[in-house]
Structure 1
């Protein structure tokens, strides 16, 4: 996606997949391995917590309040680590930086441009999942209806329609979720390329900038402090005037 985004208009995309695969299996293989290891550890810890909760329920004691609170806090931490790992992977895939350096630079890039990643983190997965679930149900109903109208044996038509409808819905849900995950990866990559555009004060893809600029967000500006820290300034609800600094004449 980065090769497409930063290439001049009209440039052929032939060979870009092979080039990206070469980078992944070559210079960036170590960084991708670290990212995969982090995600694997997170998933193992998540599975361990779920198994501990299941064991408590099997022993008849139910799940304690402490365990539930710990599981909730751990899940927040896991989601945060997965989110940072995702953007670190996108950064190192684009720039070729080492994994941890790419993670730090990714966070700094988003902070410098006062970009909120909530719109990318929260809303697209929900929209994709709801859409996939709705379409899979619709396809399952269409399959069941088609079987109902064409099945030659009237005695088993209802059971056949239900069974094939469920199978069609499940298969379509798997395919749609797979395609949805690919689409989410594309959104993440394009969003980060957009952030790199803002950081360098350029517009590489005007259509992408036009679309992302329509996403609602807080009104304000990013202000760099003398020490190098970045703050986000937004007007107050009361529209109070900012303090005036007097200067000696």
Structure 2
């Protein structure tokens, strides 16, 4: 009873006491957390309804494409079959016009004759066809090896990054020295100069490998994670080339329209020296404008298709990442494809035209650097400003399309939110792991070189084409390099998507894929970070 009576005054007086410091800290931290949650809402994959985004760019792209086809059809309907027959027309003084001579000889361009042997064409066609057929199995075999034996594949391939170009460099030098035709047409001094230059490039590659050797182990783990993600969504390797084929089908009529648009015009008389007239082809004035329209449409379509493929990869891999352990999301590729060419197609078009514009500006700047006539302090200052702006755009744009594929946001909103997501989680928006991409391209180079050596040996054994054999080998090597490079590009998109998904996990304080957190936590963080975010962005393992 006494203790109860003693506690009574304390209870009555408690509301009049000032709040304790611990209670005030808890209240302020709760308010700050609520305010931060309101500013940065939770980010996750949007499985629900997605509204149309960036509609003006979608309308502009469709209007551009429709105009290209409409004017192309008009160009085909109005074409003049006498485009290359101006020589068969003569000037008629009574009518002051050009009329066909009798008989009219139809000439459709310059008749070019190719003196290529049937044996060479046969070997070339069969080699390229077999290369196309083998590219798929080679890519699948490489994916399987990278998924299960990434460390062995990477460490086995790295020495060949140096040995393969060194062998090819010595081989061409010796072959040229033994061949009479090559020895006479290519002097020894120039051969030695090229040999030394190539070895200098090989030395630079060796130096890059040595400098980045400490990051090879991390590269192996990142490549293995990306290979596992792509292997679980293997249908992407079939869908994405199909999208490329659709783009080729889309380009085919535009190319036909561009070619036939040059047939729009008429043959008109022109006064020559001495007062006599001759007939000349005069092209319609709208044809160059249509050429510009068609080329812009094709470039934008190509960039948009590249971004659409990245969108599909990001959406599919994000659904795989955020799925429950041991379960596989259903129809993930179909939903990503529907979003890419549905509500987010305007975002894809916006991203495509931005990437295209940046590349054009870079090309203009690079060409200006090679132009000796353009010089001066002001020009150098403008170049520096332009390079700074382009680098800033790359910094912001790095994960924009990946974020848009995950959340369904518009382009500008995705750029801002992805940057804020990475910044407040102390992650870099520029550097994921460039060594992994370069290593994959190096592996594809080594595989393509081995394939080219095998093709060269087979062709020399079954045919006698002499120097033409090397031409076929080079084409086969380039074709396989392009196809494997496309496979590496897909893996690179997977790496970027897993990185942004990992950032979303850190932002929410969750772990959807433990193996990803154990590896991606080793990546470098931003140097410019706020100490107040340290608690929130601590690694989750």
TM score, norm. by length of structure 2: 0.37
* C-alpha deviation, 1:215, in angstroms: 3.8
Q: Distance in 1 between matches of 2:375 and 2:428?
A: 36
Q: Distance in 1 between matches of 2:346 and 2:435?
A: 31
In our comparison, the structure showing a higher alpha carbon Rg is: 2
2:311 aligns to what?
none
**2:497 equivalent to 1:189:** yes
Is the Cα contact below 8 Å between 2:321 and 2:513 reproduced in 1?
A: yes
1:20 aligns to what?
336
* C-alpha deviation, 1:135, in angstroms: 2.8
**2:511 equivalent to 1:206:** no
Q: Distance in 2 between matches of 1:68 and 1:131?
A: 38
* C-alpha deviation, 1:83, in angstroms: 4.2
* C-alpha deviation, 1:76, in angstroms: 4.9
* CA deviation vs aligned residue, 1:57-76 (integer Å, no higher than 9, x gap): 5xxx4x63655675465345
Q: Which structure 1 residue ranges, 4+ long, deviate > 6 Å from structure 2?
A: none
Q: Distance in 2 between matches of 1:69 and 1:122?
A: 29
Unaligned runs of 5+ in 1: 233-249
2:31 aligns to what?
none
Q: How many residue pairs get matched?
A: 220
Unaligned runs of 5+ in 2: 1-316
1:34 aligns to what?
350
Q: Distance in 2 between matches of 1:45 and 1:216?
A: 30
1:240 aligns to what?
none
Is the Cα contact below 8 Å between 2:432 and 2:523 reproduced in 1?
A: no
* CA deviation vs aligned residue, 1:151-180 (integer Å, no higher than 9, x gap): 243xx3x42442232122111110111111
Distance 1:135 1:75, change over 3 A: farther
Distance 1:112 1:130, change over 3 A: same
Q: Distance in 2 between matches of 1:188 and 1:64?
A: 39
SS for the counterpart of 1:120 is coil
Q: Distance in 2 between matches of 1:49 and 1:127?
A: 29
Is the Cα contact below 8 Å between 2:419 and 2:429 reproduced in 1?
A: no
Q: Distance in 2 between matches of 1:223 and 1:25?
A: 42
Distance 1:68 1:100, change over 3 A: same
2:409 aligns to what?
97
